[in-house]
Amino acid sequence: MVHHDIIGYIGCAFLFVSFIPQTYKLIQQNENIQQVSNIFIFFILCASFFMGIYAYEIKAYPVLIANISVFLNNIIILCIYLFKKNKANIEEKDNGILV
C-alpha cells in the first residue's frame, strides 16, 4: 500500500465520520425536519452515486468507499426526512374534529 492510498483511506474515514453527527441529530430531534433541504440530499445522492461509479472504474477504492459511505448516510437522512415529514402530515390531519 502506497502513502497516497493511506491518505485516501484516512480522508475516507473522516468523510464517513463527518456525516454521523448530523444523522444522529436528525434521528434524535422531533421537530425542525423542514431545515433539511431535499434538494441538497438529492444532489449529494447523485454526486456520490456517480463519483462511486467513476471511482470503481478507475479503481480508486478510497474514493469509492468514501462515496458509498456518503450515499448510505444520505439514504438514512432521506428516510428520516420522509418518515418525519409524513408523520407530521398525518398528525396534522388527525387534529380534526370527529362528529
Domains by residue range for the chain, with CATH: 3-95 (1.20.1280.290)
Instruction: Cell numbers for 80, please give them.
Output: 428520516
- Whole-Å CA distances, 60 to 6, 14, 66: 12, 17, 10
Q: Is the distance from CB of 67 to CB of 48 less than 8 angstroms?
A: yes
Percent with pLDDT over 90 in the chain: 23
The model carries a pTM of 0.75
For 17-65, the pLDDT digits (tens) are 888 888 888 778 766 667 778 888 899 999 999 999 999 999 988 889 9
> Residue 83: pLDDT above 60?
yes
